[in-house]
Amino acid sequence: LQLVLIFALCSADNASGSCSSPSGVATLKGSPNVFNLYINGVWKPTSSGRTLKVLSPVNDSAVYEVQAATREEIDEAFQAARDAQRLWGKTPLWKRAELLKKAAEVMRGQADDIATVIQDEVAKTKKAALSEVLRTADLLDYTAEEGVRVQGELYTSDSFTGEKRKQRGDEASQAGAVTGLVGIAAAFDLAGCPKGLVNVVTGKGSEIGDYLTQHPLANAVTFTGGSTGLHVAKGVAMIPTQMELGGKDPAIVLPDADFELAASAIVKGSFSYSGQRCTAVKMVLIVEESDEVSSKLMPKILAGVEKLKVGSPYEEVDVTPVIDGKSAAYIKGLVDDAVEKGASMLLPREGYRQERNLIHPVVLTGVKEGMRLLYEEQFGPVLPIASVKSKEEAIRIANASPLGLQASVFTQNINDAMSLSDELQAGTVQINGAPARGPDHFPFQGFKDSGIGSQGVKWSLESMTKIKSTVINLPSESYTQGVKWG
């Protein structure tokens, strides 16, 4: 794992004054593709003199470099955040919201440049990368509005049996600063963020990951990724965490489903961003006694997949290279295992097709228990399909995975939809739709090894909020009066 900042905004270095052109406030002077650390309001290279190469998924060439931060620089970033929190905690909510809105405005203004970096780093198309940037800006705006609604509460002691009203407790919410905020740091910098409030350190997880997440000044850890999160969760001990760690999201198709709708959702849900989404459809479970459902559903799925365009992220395509060679090899291993154990490869029709990290869409039928692909998250453009005899069997297979992020149920029977939703061990169940993050104000969470806590604006704010109580002890009972007495 690498903890990576990839974000360019203007060509001047930090010491030369403010800048607002979209080519590299975060980069090393004279080296536009080498990104700096951001600590206490200053962009700077690491004292270690080491950088890490970020490779293109397209051809494995180095497209960017990031600093390999030292432990001392991590200490500096945490201390800067702690010092900044003293003042930030006394900043009115409206002013905090103002900063988020300014950062959102900067992001929209530099969206094209930021999207180019995303395109280079993770092989998203320009359209998809732009959408991600603009959605993040919208999220900042929404969070700003939600944040000003954070309120404390007043409790009176006599609401508890046997107590008199001699105590009043005030509950106050204290939202904290965030260290290691990746990606939007430059936007906050240009928006006038106070020094130390946002810091970015980069490096190899194997070298600094534990030191960063287990730091004595850490107040919370939020993490999105795979099984590495399990290691992080075990190490952080008493530090509050919020994690999303992937999914093996099943799509269950019942005999009464709208097959046109189901096929369209399955194709989009499986192959959007080459299947490299935690919420991608990772397997299809068709409930049928013989092949009465498959005979209607499969032609529609195959037709949809064959329409997908495959190629470079710099073209108008649907499927682009997976993130790296290691991921590509893992995906091929899962497919090979399934085929060796009896699965049928319907697509590609000429057999498995791969150029470097570019994997052409794969559709497999006859996937059964005992095949790794039924339980392991492929995180690539591969759709495994299994036929089962009953809803109960579909639930059993879906729940056998250690992951439980999302699931889909396709049916026109609301009772079946609700009963399956009740039984599925998943954080979200989509009825007649593909798994998806959904609007950012919706709760988003995983069961089992898929995560801890809920994401979504309201829940994310709560996860980074401390509750503090102040109790006023009165010498006598106190009851507010507000009516006229005759």
| Residue the block writes with tokens 């009066």 | 481
d(CA 372, CA 419): 28
Residue 213: its H or E element: helix 210-213
Clarify whether 377 is annotated catalytic.
no
Strands 354-355 and 382-388: unpaired
Nearest to 380 by CA among 301, 269, 277: 277
In angstroms, the CA 203 to CA 209 distance is 8
DSSP, collapsed to helix, strand or coil, labels residue 452 as strand
Tokens of 376: 């392991």
Q: What angle do CA 466, 72, 118 make, to 5 degrees?
A: 75
N-term to C-term CA, the chain = 75
Which tokens hold the place of 66? 């990031």
Rounded-to-integer distance, Cα 166 and Cα 344, Å: 74
At residue 462, the 3 state secondary structure works out as helix
Pure H helices in 272-323: 294-306
DSSP symbols for 60-113: --EEEEEE---HHHHHHHHHHHHHHHHHHTTS-HHHHHHHHHHHHHHHHHTHHH
Catalytic residue among 278, 288, 315, 316: 278
CA distance 462 to 236: 19
The catalytic position among 76, 244, 288, 377 is: 244
* Residue 10 annotated in active site: no
Pair type for strands 51-55 and 62-67:
antiparallel
- Find all residues with CB under 8 Å of 366, minimum gap 6, and list them: 342, 343, 344, 385, 386, 387
Q: Give burial (CB, 10 Å; 0-12/13-18/19+) of 301.
A: buried
Question: What are the helix and strand counts (H, E) for the chain?
Answer: 13, 29
CA distance 431 to 433: 6
CA-based nearest residue to 60, from 266, 299, 323, 293: 323
* Per-residue exposure over 340-373, b if at least 16 CB sit within 10 Å of its own CB, e if not: eeebebbbbeeebebeebbbbbbbbbbbbeebeb
Catalytic residues: 244, 278
